[in-house]
Amino acid sequence: MVTRKNILIIAGEKSGEDHLMSFFPLLKRKFENYDFWGVGGDEAEAKGVELLFHLKNFGSMGISDVLGKIPFYFSAMDKIVKNAIKKNTEAAILIDFQDFNLRLAKRLSDEGVKVFYYVAPQAWVWRPSRVKKLIKYTDHLFCILPFERKWFSDRGVKNVSSVLHPVYRKIDAENRWPNKNYPKEELLLLPGSRNSEVLKTLPVFLDAISTIDHGLKVSIVKTTSVRADVYEKYCDRISKFYDSKDLYDALKEARFCLAASGTATLSCALMGVPTIVGYKVSLLNELFYRVFVPYKGLIALANLIAEEEVFPELIQDRFNVFEINRKLSSWLANHNTVDEITKKTCLVRDKFLFENEDVVDTIFKKMQK
């Protein structure tokens, strides 16, 4: 049986699918004679990716959650590799999801599949030794953070490109850096994109603002990767619900934001919305990070890019009702402080003024060789 030309896609988390959607329509047009299959969500499937696994089965949060899913991950990897061999797959685009995808990259490379890695693994945070795997098992690495190309190049990764972060590209194209007209009415909540994440962060956010006489409407952005019932229990405490596709409309209306650490903090910075970033993992996960992770710097994406704490970070023990309440109350009482934070968000925007390449064109040229 002759199989059609095909490309494997691995987007194991919702953020990965969002990255994929930033270039997939052009990829499909460029590779019009190819089929696409692999791991993704509803949006990827709707756009033409045949799903071997749905991303809702892949997501995990923290070391304890990952450990419980190890058997599934090994089984899924075996099935993906077997299908790649059966389909005679030419190339794979592996998006983020570094622990799984780096192992998969080795196995696919051993089978002669070209491996394109989009969203460079955070080796500068986790294990710098992962650079060796990238050199050996990937045909090209795409970096979306301004400082990463130099970091990887300095350590021997030759086939590496800087591409514009999808968040930056989307805001620049569709929202044109809106001018904020204060005061606004809404306090926006961005509690994360996983069930376990939202269950931990959302109650703390809401309890923190419940005792403040702020006169602000409380709104929230829901994501399709989180069960509806997780949000429903808080309906009486939230004035307005936005769908994830309306994130930038929500940010245009927001005066402040409370956000879980993640890609959302970059959206907040680029839209000029002062944000308090909060995050907490289990004691087991915290112990693991303290012992095995050498990186001890800032964690919010906006702060990493700016190379300073533009947004306050309330992490682990500091992520509590008292600390959030104290910080938000000070912002409400001092508009000058908030204005200064808004001005500082320009530091993040300016970091993206670098030479960049096109993802699809690079993949196309590499596959012609």
pLDDT digits (tens, 9 = 90+) for 75-109: 999 999 999 999 999 999 999 888 899 999 999 99
Amino acid at 346: C
Q: Which residues touch 337 (CB under 8 Å, ≥6 apart)?
A: 330, 331
The span from the CA of 311 to the CA of 329, in Å, is: 15
Percent of the chain with pLDDT over 90: 51
Model confidence band, residue 58 (pLDDT cutoffs 50, 70, 90): confident
Q: Average pLDDT of 298-326?
A: 90
Domains belonging to the chain, first-starting first, are 6-164+354-368 (3.40.50.2000), 173-350 (3.40.50.2000)
- The reported pLDDT for the residue numbered 180 is 53
Instruction: Indicate whether 61 pLDDT > 70.
Output: no
- pLDDT bracket for residue 30 (50, 70, 90): very high
Average pLDDT, the chain: 86
* Token pair listed for 261: 């650490």
Paired tokens of 85: 């061999």
Is residue 60 predicted with pLDDT exceeding 90? no
DSSP string, 28-89: HHHTTT-EEEEEE-HHHHHTTEEEEEEGGGT---HHHHHHHTHHHHHHHHHHHHHHHHHHT-
State the CB neighbour count (10 A cutoff) for residue 215: 9
H or E stretch at 9? strand 6-11
Which position has the higher pLDDT, 47 or 175?
47
3-state secondary structure of 342: helix
> Band of the pLDDT at 31, cuts 50, 70, 90?
very high
Digit-coded pLDDT (tens) for 179-226: 555 556 689 999 998 888 899 999 999 999 988 866 788 999 998 878
The answer on pLDDT for 249 being more than 60 is yes
